[in-house]
Amino acid sequence: MTDEQNLLAALGVNPSDQLGWLALADLLEEVGQSDRAELTRLSCSLRGNLNRRLRLSMEKRLSALLKAGVEPCFPQQVNSLGMRFALIPSGSFRMGSHTVERERSFHEYYHRVEITRSFYLGIFPVTQAHYHSVMGFNPSFFCRSGRGASVVASLDTRNHPVEDVSWTQAVEFCVKLAGLPAERRAKRNYRLPTEAEWEYACRASTTMPFGFGRSLSAREANFDGTQPYGRARRGAYLSRTVPVGNYKPNAWGLYD
């Protein structure tokens, strides 16, 4: 294995090793990946307690690096189906939304939550192909056999996110995935993340409305781009799904 792979493997075992993350950043710097090194250091620092001015400055720089296409460097695992998972290190964060955040809902109470254990989370949404391989069917609206077939008739949607899935079906998918022979041999278990884990992973140690910044346009996510958030420009509304990984990741390497 390379030095980078060795460090990532060690961090996968002990993700709270602050010196390990800094060593990874130093290594990236040495091999000429200064932007990735800076992103790694920023991500590491933002997991600590910072004064508001310093935090805002760091988050602004982190957002700029992500929007420039700098790829995060985090421990990953790949399962027998080729699904990739990123390590989400334990820590605390403010769940909900700040009272000054635009368009916040009244129930988004801003409070501190502690994530006591590190965990792995899928880097991409579950694809139609992976869901079908485990469950034996594809419930998606946007597929050639779905109700939205006319919208995607010319597209191969196997790498699009599966949708039109109930909570019960999502849980069943996790159970069946864990029951695959190769997954049993690897002793891998699967479950849905809690609401707190989900928000923690999406924010990736930032306090911004989105893990990649304070604005949202059709360049960052697949939604109605004619209704951008913050200072973003108006964009397109595709009215369909797109392949996973089509947009830039957050600081912990999670896409879409």
What CATH number did the domain enclosing 181 receive?
3.90.1580.10
Q: 244 and 138 share a domain?
A: yes
Q: What is the pLDDT of residue 105?
A: 75
Domain ends where: 24, 50, 73? Answer: 73
Q: 92 and 54 share a domain?
A: no
Q: How far is CA 4 from CA 44, 70, 120, 200, 210, in A?
A: 17, 17, 19, 26, 28
Q: 19 and 146 share a domain?
A: no
Selection from 167, 217, 162, 228 nearest residue 192 by Cα: 167
DSSP count for the chain of H helices, then E strands: 8, 5
Q: What is the pLDDT of residue 218?
A: 93
Q: What is the pLDDT of residue 212?
A: 81
Q: 100 and 193 share a domain?
A: yes
SS3 11: helix
The per-residue pLDDT for range 180-204, each reduced to its tens digit, is 999 999 999 999 999 999 999 999 9
Query: With bands split at pLDDT 50, 70 and 90, how would you rate the model's confidence at 142?
Result: very high
Give the Cα separation of 151 and 140 in Å (integer): 12
Q: 79 and 66 share a domain?
A: no
Domain ends where: 44, 73, 102? Answer: 73
Binning the chain into helix, strand and coil, the percentages to the nearest 5 are: 35, 10, 55
Long-range contacts, stretch 5-10, CB < 8 angstroms, 24+ apart: 8/73, 8/74, 8/75, 8/76, 9/75
Give the Cα separation of 201 and 49 in Å (integer): 18
Structural tokens at position 248: 């830039």
Q: 142 and 63 share a domain?
A: no
Amino acid at position 77, single letter: Q
Q: 69 and 86 share a domain?
A: no
Q: Is the pLDDT of residue 98 over 90?
A: no
The per-residue pLDDT for range 202-242, each reduced to its tens digit, is 999 999 888 888 888 999 999 999 998 888 899 999 999 99
Q: 90 and 20 share a domain?
A: no
Query: With bands split at pLDDT 50, 70 and 90, how would you rate the model's confidence at 110?
Result: confident
pTM, two decimal places? 0.93
How many structural domains compose the chain?
Answer: 2
Q: 126 and 206 share a domain?
A: yes
* Residues present in the chain in total: 256
Domain ends where: 55, 73, 91? Answer: 73
Q: 193 and 84 share a domain?
A: yes
Give the Cα separation of 134 and 71 in Å (integer): 30
Q: 65 and 163 share a domain?
A: no
Amino acid at position 140, single letter: S
Q: Domain span at residue 97?
A: 75-256
Structural tokens at position 94: 């403010």
